[in-house]
Structure 1
Amino acid sequence: MNGGLTSEVAAGLLVSRPPDWEQLDAPADSVVLAHPPVPEGHFRPNLVLRRSESDSVSLPRLSTAALAGTLVLPGTHIISSELWHQQLDPQGPMVEGRQQRFVRVAEGQVVCVDRWLFSDTGGSLEATASYALEQHTGMRPLFEDMVFQMRRAAPAAAGIPAGPAGAEPRLDQAASRLLQTPAEDLAPLRAEQLHRVSGQISGPESLSLLLSMANRDALGRFDAAGAREPVAELQAQGILDGRRLTPAGRELVQPLRGLQAQFTASAVGPDGSTGMDAWLGGGSALVAAGPAASALKSTAIPQGSCELLNIDAAALPVFLAKWLPLVPSWTVGQYPLRLSGELFERRLNAGSAVEAPEGLGEAEARMWAQPWVGWNIEHVHSGRKLGWVTAGDAGPFLATADPRSGGVALEPEPVSAVWDTLVNFILAAAQGAFDPR
């Protein structure tokens, strides 16, 4: 036993698992560990381990190939790909790997997937953990612990170090230098994962009229007569039939009728500003979103209008991840960059042409040169708010204001940590954790 986990040898690996978990049938080179059976309609968390004693390839190439294979899966958004280090051989050295995180929306469920990759003299090893988004708080740290305790049952045989096998991926030279290890270029994932408008485009008057129907199925005669253009727009979109909500319209406002939490998000950068509102209740969320934070110049949504759609409640963090966006990047640095409030506002609104403070290190200079988007999310009822700056290739930085000095500290934070915070924030608010007692 180790921290409540039982260790056993399977497929040449010493694997830790909770005592009540099951090992399912799998190919000889794989191990499948599954949570005890769950009620029908719920996702059964599981961990799949695969190993190969041959075909060792460089870690950047292994990582890039895995990301490329994931990118083509329908309904998938890749959150992060980051360094990971652990022992694979008992009493052996630390081995560098990758931890990748992505999320899939399929068949009414939102499934989070954490994947660990290793490639060294012992061959390649992949561990893939899957769990429902609402299981995130408990399952994510458990799977990390299980993988971190995983060891080869016998030391790897000496061999040729992992090296190129075919074309090597392009590297991020600045990140490689700062991390002191070859780091694959993650920038293409941002271009491939841009938010795409899929909902109805609604003007501000139409949205206001729809929100006024939170507790009624039909407009009054005088309400309709005083709002002819918004009524016509909602009728054209199939939301109203005459003065009455259609089934599609009732579905849109359903979260308002069992409201559990309301969120606002806003983003600002040199190209402008944008925002979104989300009302969560009854298992779904009503979202009214302006242009995505990564597409502030886009004309897909006219000024003042929004994208209007109803999504599953569990998919709200996924929508935010695409809209902000949260995508893989190499976040480097240990210490916050401290700026005066005035300099922070100028840099955020005017871009990298603003002169940088003196004495920046290489990591901070890299961050300063990238395009910035500042964004935050707020739980409306409690006023609780979280904020970050996303700096292109340099990734996200937690933004903390000092009310005494008026300054702002920008602390480098891995994308996976931002995702964890965002998910926990939304889940906690939906469960009433922020409500006054």
Structure 2
Amino acid sequence: MTASSPWLPTGTESAVGTVPGDVSWIRSAQPHRFTGPLLPREAWSVLVAVLEEELPEAIEDELRLMVEHLVLAGLLTEDGQLTEDGLVIARTLADPLAVISVECRWDGGVLGDPVGGPSGRQDAGTGALAVFLSPTAAVTLGTPGPATCEVDPATGRGFALELFELEWAPVAVASWTGAGPGRPWTEEPPGLPLPLVEARAGDPATPPPPGVPDELAMAWAEPWVLWEIRTAPGEERMLVLRMGDREPLALSTPDGGDGVVMAPVAPYTLWRTLVALVRRALVAAVAERG
């Protein structure tokens, strides 16, 4: 079930720590699709537990159901042994070198861009994606994100699994969040209080502050997507806001205050930042482990 890439066309491979020299072909945010199995949270615990001990011959009904899920997903054999992919996933979940956590909220509407047209979800919601990194692999567990299309109603009752080669970790994040090009801002938006931005991201009825520029006032009424990335180890944090089809904004809070600076981010810069976050998390992990 290992995939070489969830998002990029064949032939654009790049190792973590390097940046593609030409990304001009990226014309739009790509619709995200889960391709791996959907499993309950309890199934992952069973998978990791099999690393340490064999399953007993007599098992209770609830455990048997989890085992059946894992067998159907191709992670366990009929006799309770880890498959090749199951072993990679179990080891990565049990002892990851680093973890990239992404949380996202969006207020509904169609996500789109000026070139590629509409893509993604039309309902409001929240989502989460965890990317577990090993020396050679990236394992993601996630609920539907703002760019996820063709959502199975059952996805709300579990976590979808993806297994990728390590270098595709930043791509998985970009795909899930719907990161991509947008319509340029004519001027940088003014700073706003962080509580106000968070309130508007969760409730489109939240009014804008008085006196904001016309461009921001128009963007205020469009669909919002707010996503946050955290890394461990390294404890880095990145906060990004997308308003309608406009270019993403990197949010920062200078001097630890509650005011937010909103700086437009070009797709190339956003991609470099995602790659750098993954790389620095891995470097910090190696340093921690000596």
TM-score computed with the length of structure 1 as normaliser: 0.54
2:252 alignment partner, SS class: strand
User: Does 2:207 correspond to 1:372?
Assistant: no
Highest relative contact order (Cα 8 Å, sep 6+), 1 or 2?
Answer: 2
1:394 alignment partner, SS class: coil
Flag the structure with higher strand content.
1
**Equivalent of 1:279 in 126, 129, 132:** 132
User: Does 2:44 correspond to 1:210?
Assistant: no
CA shift for structure 1 position 389: 1.0
Write the mapping of 1:193-342 to structure 2, written as runs, cut at 5 A.
Answer: 193-213=30-50, 215-216=51-52, 218-221=53-56, 224-225=59-60, 227-241=63-77, 242-256=79-93, 259-270=96-107, 271-295=124-148, 298-342=151-195
Residue 116 of structure 2 corresponds to none
Write the mapping of 1:65-104 to structure 2, written as runs, cut at 5 A.
Answer: 77=7, 103-104=8-9
Measure, in 1, the Cα distance between the counterparts of 2:72 and 2:282.
Answer: 33
Paired residues of 1:224 and 1:231 also in contact (CA < 8 A)? no
Deviates more, 1:331-340 or 1:388-397: 331-340
Counting aligned pairs with the same residue, the percent is 21
CA shift for structure 1 position 135: 5.6
Measure, in 2, the Cα distance between the counterparts of 1:287 and 1:381.
Answer: 17
CA shift for structure 1 position 133: 3.6
Measure, in 2, the Cα distance between the counterparts of 1:306 and 1:273.
Answer: 14
Give the aligned residue type for 2:164.
Answer: I
CA shift for structure 1 position 433: 6.9
1:342 alignment partner, SS class: helix
Paired residues of 2:227 and 2:241 also in contact (CA < 8 A)? yes
Give the aligned residue type for 2:125.
Answer: G
CA shift for structure 1 position 343: 1.8
The C-alpha deviation readout for 1:369-422, integer Å capped at 9, x for no partner, is 321111111112332221111222112111223575433332222222111101
**Equivalent of 2:264 in 398, 412, 415:** 412
Write the mapping of 1:116-155 to structure 2, written as runs, cut at 5 A.
Answer: 132-134=14-16, 136=18, 140=21
Paired residues of 1:260 and 1:431 also in contact (CA < 8 A)? no
CA shift for structure 1 position 304: 3.8
1:240 alignment partner, SS class: coil
CA shift for structure 1 position 332: 1.2
Paired residues of 1:252 and 1:309 also in contact (CA < 8 A)? no
Measure, in 2, the Cα distance between the counterparts of 1:202 and 1:386.
Answer: 29
Paired residues of 2:92 and 2:132 also in contact (CA < 8 A)? yes
TM-score computed with the length of structure 2 as normaliser: 0.78
Measure, in 2, the Cα distance between the counterparts of 1:219 and 1:310.
Answer: 24
Give the aligned residue type for 1:221.
Answer: P
The C-alpha deviation readout for 1:162-196, integer Å capped at 9, x for no partner, is xxxxxxxxxxxxxxxxxxxxxxxx7xx44xx2101
CA shift for structure 1 position 331: 3.0
Measure, in 1, the Cα distance between the counterparts of 2:254 and 2:152.
Answer: 36
Paired residues of 1:260 and 1:281 also in contact (CA < 8 A)? yes
Measure, in 1, the Cα distance between the counterparts of 2:259 and 2:232.
Answer: 25
2:92 alignment partner, SS class: helix
Paired residues of 2:97 and 2:285 also in contact (CA < 8 A)? no
Structure 2 segments unaligned to the other structure (5+ residues): 108-123
From the CA coordinates, give the structure whose radius of gyration is larger: 1
The C-alpha deviation readout for 1:42-65, integer Å capped at 9, x for no partner, is xxxxxxxxxxxxxxxxxxxxxxxx
User: Does 2:266 correspond to 1:429?
Assistant: no
Residue 17 of structure 1 corresponds to none
Measure, in 1, the Cα distance between the counterparts of 2:70 and 2:278.
Answer: 29
The C-alpha deviation readout for 1:273-331, integer Å capped at 9, x for no partner, is 11011111131111111102224994455214111121111111111111111122123
Measure, in 1, the Cα distance between the counterparts of 2:221 and 2:196.
Answer: 15
Measure, in 1, the Cα distance between the counterparts of 2:284 and 2:257.
Answer: 33
Write the mapping of 1:33-112 to structure 2, written as runs, cut at 5 A.
Answer: 77=7, 103-106=8-11, 110-111=12-13
User: Does 2:203 correspond to 1:345?
Assistant: no
Paired residues of 2:16 and 2:166 also in contact (CA < 8 A)? no
Measure, in 2, the Cα distance between the counterparts of 1:301 and 1:381.
Answer: 32
1:330 alignment partner, SS class: coil
CA shift for structure 1 position 231: 1.7
CA shift for structure 1 position 76: 8.7
Measure, in 1, the Cα distance between the counterparts of 2:266 and 2:56.
Answer: 54
Measure, in 1, the Cα distance between the counterparts of 2:69 and 2:285.
Answer: 38
Paired residues of 2:253 and 2:259 also in contact (CA < 8 A)? yes
Measure, in 1, the Cα distance between the counterparts of 2:96 and 2:106.
Answer: 32
Structure 1 segments unaligned to the other structure (5+ residues): 1-73, 78-102, 112-131, 145-185
Pairwise CA RMSD: 3.2
Q: Check 1:210–1:434 CA distance in 2 against 1; reply closer, same or farther (3 A cut).
A: same
Paired residues of 1:263 and 1:279 also in contact (CA < 8 A)? yes
